[in-house]
Amino acid sequence: MAVTADLAVRIGKLTLQNPVMVASGTFGYGQEYHRLYDVNALGGIVTKSISLKPRPGNPAPRIYETPSGMLNSIGLQNVGLEAFLKEKLPFLKRLKGPRIIVNLAGESVREYVDLARRLEDAGGIDGLELNISCPNCERGGIEFGVDPRLTAQVVGRVRRVTRRTLIAKLSPNVTDIAGIARAAAEAGADALSLINTLLAIAVDADRWRPRVATVTCGLSGPAIKPVALRMVWQVHRALPRVPLIGIGGIMRAEDAVEFMLCGATAVEVGTANYVNPKAPLEIIRGLRRYLSARKLAGPRALVGKLAVPERLRGIPQGVAG
C-alpha cells in the first residue's frame, strides 16, 4: 500500500502545511511569483525585510555571480511599513495556504520594537522574523546578530510587544553560533532561522576593483550549504528543543532533507528562486516522494537524525583540522 506522507510541521504555536518556506529578499511580497504558480502550495512566505521608512538600497552594481553562489548587496531596499500595510499585505492576507512571516529590519532596538508594535493589530500575519543579520547595511542588522548581549536585548524587547510567533534570523558571521542562538532563545524567540548570507568580496583582477559597489557583500546559494548545515547541527545539539529553520543553498528536496537530519524542522528557499522560480514547489513534491518511498509518516521523522559515530559523541564539536 502506498504511504502518503503528511508534510505538516509545527514551529512554536504555528502549524505549517509543509516545511518549505521562501526566504526573505528572494520572493518580494509574493505577487510576482503568484503569476508563475499558485503560491498557496507553500508552507510559508517570508517577506522582504521591512523597515519603518522606505529604503532605496545600495548603489549598483549590487549583484555578482560566483561559482556555486551569488553575491548581493541590496542594502534592504524596501517599500517601508506604510506601503507594506496598504499595498502588499492585502494580497498576502488573501492567501489560504502559506503562513505569512514578516521579516523586520531596524537600525535600533527601538525601530524593531516600533515595527512589531505597529504590526500587532494588522490581520493576516502569522509570525515575525527578526533580521538581526544583514551584512549589507551601515547600521543595525548584523551589529545585533554578532553580539549575544544585543541579540538578547532586541529579541527580548520585541517579545514584550508581540504575541506572534517570533523567529530570530541568525548571522553566520560569528565564531560561536550556539552562543548567539542561546541568547535569542532565552530572550523569548520561539524559533531560530539560520543562516543569513556570509560576508564576502569579489575582485576584478583587470580593473583592480571590487565587483560590488559596497566592496563587502553577502554570499548565498549552494556554496554556503555546508556552512549552514554545520551551524544548524551545532545549534540543534546545543538547544535540541528549539525549533530551527534551515536556510542556505537549498535547491532540491535532498538539500532540505539534509537540513532536517541536522536538526531543522522547516527550511527556507532563497537563491534557488532566481535559478528556478518553481524550485520550492519541486522541493515540496520531492520531499513527499522521499518520505513516502521510505514509509516515513512525516518530516518530523528526520529532524536531528544525523548519525554521529560513537567515538565522536563526547568530543566537543567545532574543532577542525
Ligand X SMILES: Cc1cc2nc3c(=O)[nH]c(=O)nc-3n(C[C@H](O)[C@H](O)[C@H](O)COP(=O)(O)O)c2cc1C
* Residue 266 near ligand X by CB under 6 A: no
Binding residue (CB under 6 A) for ligand X from 17, 18, 58, 103: 103
- Site size toward ligand X, by CB under 6 A: 27
Would residue 217 show up in a list of annotated catalytic residues for this protein?
no
| Residues 11 and 166 sit within 8 Å (Cβ to Cβ) | no
Binding residue (CB under 6 A) for ligand X from 17, 151, 196, 214: 196
Contact positions with ligand X (CB under 6 A) in 279-308: none
Quickly list DSSP for 37-59: S-GGGSSEEEPPPB-SS-B--PP
| Residues 144 and 132 sit within 8 Å (Cβ to Cβ) | yes
- The residue nearest ligand X at its CB is 25
Binding residue (CB under 6 A) for ligand X from 19, 135, 249, 263: 249
Annotated catalytic residue, options 134, 137, 217, 262: 134
| Residues 82 and 52 sit within 8 Å (Cβ to Cβ) | no
Binding residue (CB under 6 A) for ligand X from 19, 221, 243, 280: 221
The interface mask with ligand X, positions 121-140, x = CB under 6 A, is ----------x--x------
Q: What is the Cα–Cα distance from 21 to 31, expressed in whole angstroms?
A: 15
CB of 103 to ligand X, least distance (A): 5
Contact positions with ligand X (CB under 6 A) in 48-67: 48-49
Binding residue (CB under 6 A) for ligand X from 17, 18, 173, 197: 197
CB of 75 to ligand X, least distance (A): 9
Question: What count of residues does the chain have?
Answer: 321
Beta bridge partners of 71: 64, 219
CB of 144 to ligand X, least distance (A): 12
Distances 44 to 5, 27, 128 between C-alpha atoms, Å: 19, 11, 12
Please enumerate in sequence order all residues whose Cβ is within 8 A of that of 136, keeping only pairs 6 or more positions apart, or say none.
58, 72, 73, 74, 75, 76, 214, 216, 217, 218
Neighbours of 304 (CB within 10 A): 17
Q: Which is nearer to ligand X, 252 or 285 (CB)?
A: 252
Distances 59 to 28, 212, 214 between C-alpha atoms, Å: 19, 9, 8
The interface mask with ligand X, positions 19-48, x = CB under 6 A, is ----xxxx---------------------x
Beta bridge partners of 130: 104, 168
| Residues 78 and 85 sit within 8 Å (Cβ to Cβ) | no
Q: Which is nearer to ligand X, 243 or 249 (CB)?
A: 249
Strands 191-194 and 198-200: unpaired
**What residues make contact with ligand X under the rule CB under 6 A?**
23-26, 48-49, 70, 72, 74, 76, 103, 131, 134, 169, 196-197, 220-221, 224, 247-250, 269-272
User: What are the residue numbers of the active site?
Assistant: 134
